[in-house]
Structure 1
Amino acid sequence: MKIWTSEHIFNHPWETVVQAAWRKYPNPMNTAVIGTDVVERDIKDGVLHSHRIVSSQWHFPKWVEKIIGVPKVVYASERSTVDAEGRQMTLKTTNVTFGTFLSVDEVLQYAPHPKDPAKTLLKQQATVSVEGVPLCRYMEDALTKNISFNANRGRQGLEWVINKINTEVKEIDHLLSQTKKSLDGITDTARKSMDELSASTQKIHF
């Protein structure tokens, strides 16, 4: 069994990072993930509970593929909780494919940075276990290295989504600003027309 851990600080508020985590796929950095399907979603005691199936394409060395065989699409079960009041998000992912001899359990925890609430601390841990096939320990090492590599790309993907969200917010703010200007212009025009009409009516009356 191999255990891998990592910590990363995002220079963004927790709410922004969590929103990006929900919209993480698809992104150009994590092309292996090809789909996410919501199985169940519920709110209990103010905490959002979700269960999703993640579809992806795993790429192993040729010798590994000859030993275990690799289907075109592999699946993982992801269960998550989001506590908006406590500002905590936890995702737990377990592989479904290869479950008879391979176990990859991953936990991600997003929380405000303890020293700077404007930033977000990500704690990540993965436990890899391979049994019942040749070269178990070697495969565990290879999978752990792959997880580390993908974790880095995952953080890059999250930054990409955050940038996309910030761009969308700016575009919406710009659109609202332009709409407000247009409405103000229409209101001013209507007010001037009413004033002119009122003045004309008074002249006719006298």
Structure 2
Amino acid sequence: MKIWTSEHTFHHPWETVVKAAWRKYPNPMNPSVVGLDVVDRFVDKDGILRSHRLMSTKWGIPDWAAKILGRDRICYASEHSEVDPKKRMMTLRSRNLTFCNLITIDEQLIYSPHPQDPNKTRLTQEAVVTVEGIPLSSYMENVVTDTISTNANKGRQAMEWVIGKITGEANDLKQEAQKAVDNMIPHTRPSM
């Protein structure tokens, strides 16, 4: 078993980062995610939004490895999330479904306001990788955690990209609203 951890600060408020987390896929930084399906979503009695999603990804599995493993190149993971607006915390927990008899990846991401600056958001990540039943399992665990680290950097870039899109969309809406108001003002003045 190998444990990987990381912490990152986004220079954006928690609400903005959470909105971006919901819209993270698809993105140009991580084109391997090819599908995201909502299985269940509800708000519980405490006001916490709970979701279960399935993620489909294309792994870069060579043809020879896919033939040996008997799998195609699409792999699946299950993600459970909680958004607690009172505590201002979003928690995502995921586990791979494909290859789980050989390798298990349990990942957790927590988005919360930064303790020193409420206009920033702290992301803490942890992944527990377990490889069993194949030779060189310790080596494979290191390879997987290195890949997770690389993908985490891409994920943070993707979040910034989505935040940029959200900000651009908000500015576009603001400009359209201002144009509409400017066009209505001449029509609302009484004629003399």
**TM range, smaller chain:** over 0.9
Q: Which residue of 1 aligns with 2:14?
A: 14
How far apart are the structure 2 equivalents of 1:60 and 1:139?
Answer: 14
**What is the aligned residue count?**
191
* Alpha carbons of structure 1 residues 101 and 32: separation in structure 2 relative to 1, 3 Å: same
Supply the RMSD in Å over aligned alpha carbons: 1.5
- Structure 1 residues 37-66: Cα deviation after superposition (integer angstroms, max 9, x where no partner): 000001111000000000001125788657
How far apart are the structure 1 equivalents of 2:68 and 2:138?
Answer: 14
5+ residue gaps, structure 2? none
Q: Which residue of 1 aligns with 2:96?
A: 95
State the Cα distance separating 1:152 from its structure 2 match: 0.2
Q: Percent identity?
A: 52
| Partner SS, residue 24 of structure 1 | coil
| Partner SS, residue 120 of structure 2 | strand
> Are 2:43 and 1:75 aligned?
no
How far apart are the structure 1 equivalents of 2:175 and 2:3?
Answer: 47
Asked if the contact 1:67/1:134 (under 8 Å) is kept, the reply is no
How far apart are the structure 2 equivalents of 1:68 and 1:11?
Answer: 42
Q: Which residue of 1 aligns with 2:25?
A: 25
How far apart are the structure 2 equivalents of 1:70 and 1:129?
Answer: 20
Amino acid at match of 1:24: K
The TM-score normalised by the length of structure 2 is: 0.95
Amino acid at match of 2:49: L
5+ residue gaps, structure 1? 196-206
Instruction: Return the structure number with greater helix share.
Output: 1
Q: Which residue of 2 aligns with 1:154?
A: 155
| Partner SS, residue 117 of structure 1 | coil
Q: Which residue of 1 aligns with 2:36?
A: 36
How far apart are the structure 2 equivalents of 1:146 and 1:170?
Answer: 36
Q: Which residue of 2 aligns with 1:3?
A: 3
The TM-score normalised by the length of structure 1 is: 0.88
How far apart are the structure 2 equivalents of 1:65 and 1:145?
Answer: 21
Asked if the contact 2:61/2:73 (under 8 Å) is kept, the reply is no
Amino acid at match of 2:57: S
